[in-house]
Each structure stands twice: as C-alpha cells, then as structure tokens.
Chain A
Amino acid sequence: MNTTDKPDCDAIHSIPALIAYTCAMESEAADRYQDLADQMEVHNNPEVAELFRKLSALSDQLKADYLNSGEGMELPQVAPWDYRFECIELLRTDNMDDIHYLMTPYHVVELALRCKKRQVEFLMNLSKTRDEEGITPVAQDFMQQQAKHISVLKQWLIDYPEPDANWQEDYDPPTLQE
C-alpha cells in the first residue's frame, strides 16, 4: 500500500533512536530555516533573512548538543521518509499562512516560538509515554535545552515589536496575472 504519513515518534524506543530522531528533527529545522532565509534574501528582505539564519544556527547547535549526549553510542540511520515531525511543519516553504515576502522580524520570532513550543510538547509526550529505561530523563534533558532557546526567542520578541496591521500591503507587487 502506498503511504507517506509517519507518526512523529513511532520508532523511538531506545536512547540511540531518541537521539537520532531528535537530531533529524533539528537538522530538518535548520535546513528549512536556511531555505526560508534564502527566500527572503532573494526577495530583498535582508533583516528577516538574517534572523532565519540565526535560527538555523541555533538548530544546528541543538543538534550538536544532542549528538554529544550520544557520544559512543551507535545511532540508527534515519531516512527522511522515516519521520514526519508535525512540530516543524510550520517551517515549510509553502506555509503561506505564516510566510510572506514582506514579513517582519516579529513574525519570524513568533513563528519560531510556536515551532519550539511544539517541539517541547513532542518531547514531553515522549517522556510521558515511553516506558523504556532511560528515555524519560534524556527527553527531559532535551526539553530543558529547548526551553533555553525559548527564553532566547522570548527576549527577541521584546526586541522586535509587532508591526502595523497593514504590514503586507504592497502597492507594486512583484507578480501580477497577465
């Protein structure tokens, strides 16, 4: 049967699997932030592009931290189609509800915060539902690392005030039907 949907964490039943999957999640998030940064750079929104790149770097850092915690372990290979993390689906390049070429840093941080909160929920769910030995404390440790990033994002949100209601108005839009 053809099927593409994979539950978020079906395959996580050991600490190495937990580390491999959370690394895949951060890697995917980092790549998606980079793609969004590229998009914004091309559409002449450098401030937002720079912010997306910072977020990508934060995800890369988290991935490195997760990998460090698994030093000496043999991690399973995870193919891209082995997972589908609902928590980072917000970062899709086709998420037109949240991504706009005129978006402001406020929107970026607000989006990243929503994504982070979902990631924490994902890890919390894991820590509560897995009986296998050792998974809960590791998932909780990862949650704490995510929580640190949430604090950083909350600080950024103070730095970037919400824009005016007409922020996406463009009197000379780049694409018009002909």
Chain B
Amino acid sequence: MNKAISSAAATPKDYKSSNKPVWCPGCGDFSVLSAITKALAHMKLEPENVAVVSGIGCSSRIPAYLNTYGFHGLHGRALPLATGLKVARPDLTVLVAGGDGDGFSIGGNHFLHACRRNIDLTYIVMDNQVYGMTKGQASPTTAPDWARSKLTPHGTGINPFYPLVIALGAGANFIARVSSHDPNGTARTLVEAIRHPGFSFVHVLSPCITYQPEQREWKKLVRPAPVEATSDASQAARRLMTDDNLYIGVLYHGNRRTYHPQFETTAVDPSQLEDGFLV
C-alpha cells in the first residue's frame, strides 16, 4: 500500500497503485480493475481496510495494481488464503480475484468448499476460457471444440465447467455474472456482492483478445438477464442450468447464515514462537 487516503473524498484513482498493468492491450481485465476501484471508491472503504488476495495467472496480478493490502499467492490457493485472513481479521473487506484456470482447475476443490463454508468473501473470477499467461492452453471453461492450442489440436472434447451452477450447488450465497465490456455495471454488481453477507461469487466474462480473439463478439452477445435476482435456490438452479452463459446481472442472492468461527484468541509473544523452530 502506498498511502492512506481520506475515504470521504475518495476517487477510483486513489485505489490504484503506481504499478502499471502488463496485460495485453484490449484485455478485459483492465475493465475489472477499473470496476473494483470504482466500487471501493463508491463504498468509501479505506484502502487499509481492504485486502485483495489472488492466485496465479494474468488476472491474478490485480492486487499489485491496487492501493489496498494484497497477497499474490500460490496457484489455485487464493481462496484458502483469503479464508484464513477473513477468519483472523473479520473487520477487513476481503476480495479474492483470479482466473478460470486458477479458480476452477488448480483451485477447483477450494472453490467448492469456499462456497460451502459461506465465509464473508467476494470472489471475482475473470473468465476468458483460456490459460493466457502460459500462452493459450484450454482451461476448464474452454469449449470442447476449441482447437487453437497445439496441446488440444482437435479440441478437448470435454464438457466445460459451469461455474455458476457449481457455485449454487455448493452453497454460494450471492451469484452474479458481469461483462468486462460494462465496467460501470460491473462496479455496481461488485458493490452489491461486497455488501451481501457470506460468500459472493462474481463471474466476469473478460475476453482474452490474444488467444481467444473471437471473444470480442461477447460485447454484442451479452445482455441483461430478463429476470429479477431470486433468493429461491431451486428457481436459480433452473435458470442457471438453462441460460446460455451470456446473461449478466445478479442471478441469485441467498440468505444462508454466514460462517464465522468464534475463537478464543490469546496474544502470543513472537519470541515464544521462535522457540518452536529451534533445531
């Protein structure tokens, strides 16, 4: 974190760090970064009261570009890190960010259990259906006939992962899909997600114009979901099972009890811990 700001007069710019994003020009993640800063400024959250935790991948660079606390963790392990942080510091607003490979493949198991635990976190997944950082391999959400990578010259032939359906089934308390083509709409959804108690999952359609150039068409294809968000899980399930993954908006907001373990904490002198590591 570079500096403390007065949140009363906060602007989105105040939440950006001096590091410049190294994403490809045209990457959808720029818009997500912009949306996060707009959401934080709108909520007037002090940067020192916000932590952004990520794993590995293009989109997981995002903590470095924000003027909040951040942790660029191990591949697929952003959610357990964030869970630990939120349990230890429930006063912090904890956002978790990453991509489809990080979140649904390497971190897939953590995704299921983070939804199930329903700790008060906001998980933002920038889904471009490809491993971009390693130059374009199929990810869990890639279409089965996508044959552009040398590793899958005839496509994967495997059904893609449907993250929203999985999130609902696993117990996420807030589920939304947004598009990076609409950073201001994304900001609004992020505000709702952060305010909603429990585990909020925000699925961002964020094109990789380098390895999935056809995703430029998403801009024309995405459209607001023609329904109100529901708190009825079975209704949400029917909708999510039948939508074409291009409806955007809040699709489910539940009212499950947020899990927050009560600990008896005792302050320990760090020197006592050192003793445990003596050889």
Instruction: Looking at the assembled complex, report how far the CB atom of B86 sits from the nearest CB atom of chain A, in whole angstroms.
Output: 26
> Are A175's CB and B210's CB within 8 A?
yes
Choice from B27, B34, B226 contacting A1 with Cβ under 8 Å: B226
* Interface residues in A, total, Cβ within 8 A: 32
Q: Mark A159-178, 1 if CB is under 8 A from B, else 0.
A: 00000000000000011111
Q: Does B77 have its Cβ within 8 Å of any Cβ on chain A?
A: no
Question: B21 to A38, Cβ gap below 8 A?
Answer: yes
B116 within 8 A of A: no
Q: Which of B46-54, B67-75, B183-191, B262-270 contacts A (4 or more CB under 8 A)?
A: B183-191
Q: In the complex, how many residue pairs between chain A and chain B have their CB atoms under 8 Å apart? A: 104
Contact status A1-B187, CB under 8 Å = no
Number of B residues with CB within 8 Å of any CB on chain A: 48
> Is the CB–CB distance between B149 and A2 below 8 Å?
no
Give the distance in Å from the alpha carbon of A1 to the alpha carbon of B248 in the complex. Answer: 11
Q: Are A175 and B135 in contact (CB under 8 A)?
A: yes
Q: Is the CB of B182 within 8 A of A178?
A: no
Q: Write the chain B residue with the least CB distance to A99.
A: B25
Digitize A12-41: 1 where CB-to-B-CB distance is under 8 Å, 0 elsewhere: 000000000000000100010011001101
Selecting from A76-84, A115-123, A130-138, the interface stretch reads A76-84
Residue from A2, A31, A35 in contact with B248 in the complex, judged by beta carbons closer than 8 Å = A2
B188 touches A42 (CB 8 A): no
Q: Which residues of A contact B181 (CB under 8 A)?
A: 92, 94
CA distance A61 to B91 in the complex (A): 39
Contacts of B238 in A (CB 8 A): none
The reply to whether the CB of B114 lies closer than 8 angstroms to some CB of chain A is no
Residue of B12, B182, B187, B216 near A96 (CB, 8 A) is B216
Report the minimal beta-carbon distance from A86 to chain B, rounded to whole angstroms.
13
For B148, give its contact among A174, A175, A177 (CB under 8 Å): A177
Across the A-B interface, the 4 shortest Cβ-Cβ residue pairs: A2-B249, A4-B185, A81-B188, A93-B30
